[in-house]
Amino acid sequence: MKMSTNSKGAFGSRMGRYFLLDDAPYHVSKLGHSNIAVTHLRCDKPRIGVTDLIPAEDSYIISVQMRKPSMHSLWLNDKFVQSQQFQRDSLCFVHLDGDARVDLHTAFHIVQFHVPHAGLTDIASDFGVRRVEHLRCPPLGAIDPILSQLAECLLPSFESEEDMCAPFVDHVLLAMQAHVARKYGEMKIPVRTGKERLAPWQIRRAKELISARISTSLSLSELAAECGISVSHFARAFKATVGVAPHQWLVQRRMEIAKLLLSSTQMATADIALECGFSHRVAFSNAFRRIVGTSPGEWRRMCGSRHLTVDKANSQISDFMK
């Protein structure tokens, strides 16, 4: 998984150090003026002990337990809060308005969302509704099926089965932010009429940028900035205009290029994976099989290679992407 720059806040490698971990994969999305983050925390040791002090900040930490039950005890401002047996899909949802420590009694596997309060202001402003004053944190161990599903869909990327597609994770974090603002902050999300669409120049520019960056990372915030609108507005309007979300359009283009290279050149599968924006062959093969319905090798055998030169193939790709 490709790492994002870890700015200030209790997420990513910093949260990993608090939890005494050597590795904590994460992704940061810039949504509006704030960074929303998700971190993967996992330890299979039976007893970890007490975390380092997690400094207070005006953010909400939402931890979703992904696998086996685990037992943790929580302190805020040196005051014992509660010991809790966390079942699969259960939440530890806290406002980090005081210094915190966690006593990790058992192994754990967590997808953890980091939501600054400023991010809630951003999303309320984007929807044109009153600002969210605070989130009503549910009891420790509560289950929220939507947060569980959003966390679950990120696991393949965190566990190296698939590459981390930045627009996809941005999309998931947008959905998470809107959900918690609505459910726990009582934000009233207005009903959309479906008239939010991108202007022709905006959709042209967005597609041009995606095509130009097909083999590299590209965030929703970059696409939205090119179109001069907010991230959430861009995500909604792109789907309304094109029919699919930005990350889906990106993956479709990558698969079309991959099919062309597989059927027309003798390029190695690992090289095609890199050309199409995947960090390794396994991630590419998994994505190709999921979308196309067969493996890259099987696709190549079915098509039969015409053995174009790479330059000729690139010329066809350029024509295809226009």
pLDDT at 37: 94
Structure-token match 């599903």, residue found:
149
Q: What are the pLDDT digits (tens) for 6-24?
A: 457 899 999 999 998 988 9
pLDDT at 78: 87
Residue of 31, 16, 72 whose CA lies nearest to 231: 31
Q: What are the pLDDT digits (tens) for 182-195?
A: 999 988 877 766 67
Higher pLDDT, 157 or 256: 256
Q: What are the pLDDT digits (tens) for 243-288?
A: 999 988 998 898 999 998 988 888 888 899 888 888 788 888 888 9
Domain 12-183 identical in fold to domain 248-321: no
Residue of 63, 7, 62 whose CA lies nearest to 35: 7
Q: What are the pLDDT digits (tens) for 203-215?
A: 999 999 988 888 8
Handedness of CA 232, 182, 11, 282 (dihedral sign): negative
DSSP string, 23-66: ---EEEEEETTEEEEEEEEEE--S--EEPPPB---SEEEEEEE-
Cα separation, 27 vs 159, whole angstroms:
13
Task: Indicate the pLDDT class of residue 308, thresholds 50, 70 and 90.
Answer: very low
pLDDT at 5: 39
- Average per-residue pLDDT in the chain? 85
Please give the average per-residue pLDDT across 33-56, as a whole number.
89
Structural domain boundaries in the chain: 12-183, 200-243, 248-321
- Which two tokens mark 133? 């004053």
* Global pTM value: 0.81
Cα three-residue angle 276-278-282, rounded to 5 degrees: 120
Structure-token match 């066809």, residue found:
316
248-321 CATH: 1.10.10.60
Cα separation, 38 vs 128, whole angstroms:
26
Task: Say whether domain 12-183 belongs to CATH 3.90.1300.10.
Answer: no
Cα separation, 198 vs 241, whole angstroms:
6
Cα separation, 114 vs 119, whole angstroms:
10
pLDDT at 49: 87
Neighbours of 26 (CB within 10 A): 24
What's the order of all strands across the beta sheet hosting 34-43?
A: 26-31, 34-43, 108-116, 59-65, 91-95
Cα separation, 235 vs 220, whole angstroms:
8
160 pLDDT exceeds 70?
A: no
